[in-house]
Structure 1
């Protein structure tokens, strides 16, 4: 059957039928002939999803009573739905008021502006550190009276281990900012807090001349291999920016139109600690502090004198860019931070062990979940819709729930720090402004899990995971959410729209492209 016709059948089958709200609390087995069940069956078994593994569960949020289930106990790759786990457990273990601390400290005697020892820059993983924050720390060093450091500038990133990339991450994603390296000393180029990356700006010159390439923040830590040119006015931009694997050589190719806007692309760096050290050393020089020794790495001595410190925003605030924009690096930093808090070891192993144990307290069998990271980038993560629904239900009983709930993307809300990865979805439907849910996207994987209130005021939780898809499952996720949001007793049928052709599976979250 042609795909367009199969989706037309889904469109015809999915309608807002008059289903009494009380029926939502009955077991799925009692709903065999119920219109809601038939409609959800039609969506999840659409011929357009043939060959894919699709699991969906819907539960009453107040009672946990089962509303609908289809293969919901089958595990699959959750993609960024894994962030539901990392964010909730981080809130519970670290607390909403947790702040990351970055310090600069000195060892050795300090006389007449000369520090005879070393200067230590120590991080605890703060993903919100900007170049301006390191500049402010450098100013504090100068304000303390230090003009010359006879020793070294020592970068202390030992709060975390030295493992920079997660298990099961794709090597070909490594140059891109959503797959950055994890370090306890890191820097972000923007207030989305894309830790471990820089922005490469490609500006036009005169037509036929080379394009001008700069970085944000400015740094010579990377080498720009620029072959980009300026095209004719009105020509299409074809700029590509890609860091060569295992290096800090960034190749800039293509063309940018004369008189047009500069192109901007985000790129990871190889070894974020080195970038931070380079930026901080430059900042010290701007503030008149000369470091005579080289640059090294090591642990800050217990007796070092703190000359300045920077505290991040609380976790409750960081949760907004983290969850709305599905920031992978925030998730992984929190995993390692949890590990450090629970067992004194800032590693994925320690953090995931603590997070999995916390799931057990919320009714999820730890032995039935496989977590290899906190973001869902790993192809080795395995979670079922039932397990995510159990988390969604348990979270409602926690004191931090309102903070967590507010951090979830809101369907159809145009503000990117409200709608997040759902800002362009489900507009003009009963789900708009109603559904709060976490998205998830990898090639062949899609997920949507969260909260929705029916038109009758019945609160529901739902979790849908699709694996092995050849096309985007997002129109079907939207159809499920819209169908649930529009349910009302005595309401006349109202068709749920499914795109006439599913969008291609681009393999990344909307926010990861920075342009959608």
Structure 2
């Protein structure tokens, strides 16, 4: 009994600056709505009002063991979930593909091998592996040599038709942002190329490479030109076989680097594989991209990690390419070959309705990057409660730290939270699970959005618009305050 009291007192101390005293004495609420002026505010209303956020605030929380809704604040109103949408994508992929699923990238020979010479074509076949990297291609090239191949007389092809080609996850984002690359049936290094520069006199030396910790092969399919201007910082132009970039000289320091998105994934993978094959004494011809399903003898197979491991990394690092790739792979496994991210997301929405009985989820992609997606917090909470019965999702979610009044993480906090965060400019979300001090488990979702202001931001301003960071900080503070409130109200 003493231990229980001390933990409750600790909760009160940690959350004192965030939770109004009146909130701690309230009974569970079936529904909380903004109150008319002049009426007494609830504890939740006070938290929302104190946050000072322009736009909408919605949330819902439920008891996992019973499914009973504990609080709902405009819980049926759909807002952009940002990367919280990846939690739904994880559930979708786990259900359709299975936790043990592995993606395969293969090398096929279309012709006989005579004395180490392949008399036909060699095809690098993409199998939707979102984690394929330069190290993986290097291993495949070494294994090709170990299989006895010393020469290829035919063409070298890259097959990327396992998924539709998508030029950019969100075309509304600036061209140079690495988190909105192209998507296809083959991806490499999250479809990002490494741009590095170093001043040499009055000019700059630049490189474009596909680096990992072990390798840094230069690539021909991406080129950078430094130009004597101030703005725009970057420009992009596609050619038949190259991503052509320019950068403003005035924006460069003496040296530096950044990752840029790849718009030609198959050429990128082929370019790097050619380099790795050459390092193993195998010279290949010009890369040919094909979307025709290849046939032939399998020479080499590279398997990805198990899907549950891939999803854990996706939820931890919020990798958009992973979400889109596994989401579309799940849609294809359901017997639907989508032509776009929106078509694949629509299939996921249907799956969510069939599986969890929710109808207020309308995603337009699998990553949450597109701000046209809508998700009602009540529907996500309902899905989380039902999914918790299998125990599949929570172990994959990242622990979420609670802080004191100074913003410092509180070690050994009695409330334990595992959740997915989501952030766009003037959009913030948090959804997942919390365990209270007495062991009660709750599922929750919190979405905030100032869509009117977001709509005024030009495409060029979307990397760092004025006021976005401060707005998102206030949203995160509200999220933590709500979690502290729920931990105190429903954990005693």
TM-score by length of 1: 0.76
Residue 480 of structure 2 corresponds to: 478
Residues 210, 227 of structure 1: 8 Å contact kept = no
Residue 250 of structure 1 corresponds to: 245
SS in 2 for 1:186: coil
Q: What pairs up with 1:8-23 in 2 under 5 angstroms?
A: 14-15=19-20, 19=24, 23=27
Residue 259 of structure 2 corresponds to: 266
Structure 1 position 355 matched with structure 2 position 348: yes
Residue 326 of structure 2 corresponds to: 334
Residues 152, 296 of structure 1: 8 Å contact kept = no
In structure 2, distance between residues paired with 1:484 and 1:293? 60
In structure 2, distance between residues paired with 1:489 and 1:395? 22
In structure 1, distance between residues paired with 2:355 and 2:24? 31
Segments of 5+ residues of structure 1 without an aligned counterpart are 1-9, 189-194, 229-237, 415-423, 491-516
Residue 322 of structure 1 corresponds to: 314
Query: Of 283, 293, 302, which aligns to 1:310?
Result: 302
Deviations 1:438-489 (A, max 9, x none): 1111122111111112233322222111121662222211221233234587
Query: Of 448, 457, 469, which aligns to 1:466?
Result: 448
Distance 1:488 1:239, change over 3 A: farther
Structure 1 position 44 matched with structure 2 position 82: no
In structure 2, distance between residues paired with 1:426 and 1:358? 40
Segments of 5+ residues of structure 2 without an aligned counterpart are 1-14, 36-40, 212-217, 454-470
Residues 18, 481 of structure 2: 8 Å contact kept = no
In structure 2, distance between residues paired with 1:241 and 1:321? 31
Distance 1:433 1:108, change over 3 A: farther
Tell me by how many angstroms 1:227 deviates.
5.5
Residues 340, 350 of structure 1: 8 Å contact kept = no
Residues 175, 245 of structure 1: 8 Å contact kept = no
Residues 240, 254 of structure 1: 8 Å contact kept = no
TM-score by length of 2: 0.79
Structure 1 position 125 matched with structure 2 position 128: yes
Question: How many residues in Structure 1 have an aligned counterpart in Structure 2?
Answer: 438
In structure 1, distance between residues paired with 2:448 and 2:141? 49
Residue 378 of structure 1 corresponds to: 370
Structure 1 position 198 matched with structure 2 position 180: no
Residue 153 of structure 2 corresponds to: 150
Distance 1:398 1:361, change over 3 A: farther
Distance 1:428 1:413, change over 3 A: closer
Tell me by how many angstroms 1:355 deviates.
2.0
In structure 2, distance between residues paired with 1:457 and 1:349? 40
Residues 415, 434 of structure 2: 8 Å contact kept = no
In structure 2, distance between residues paired with 1:309 and 1:100? 10
* Root mean square deviation, CA, Å: 3.3
Q: What pairs up with 1:220-231 in 2 under 5 angstroms?
A: 220-226=220-226
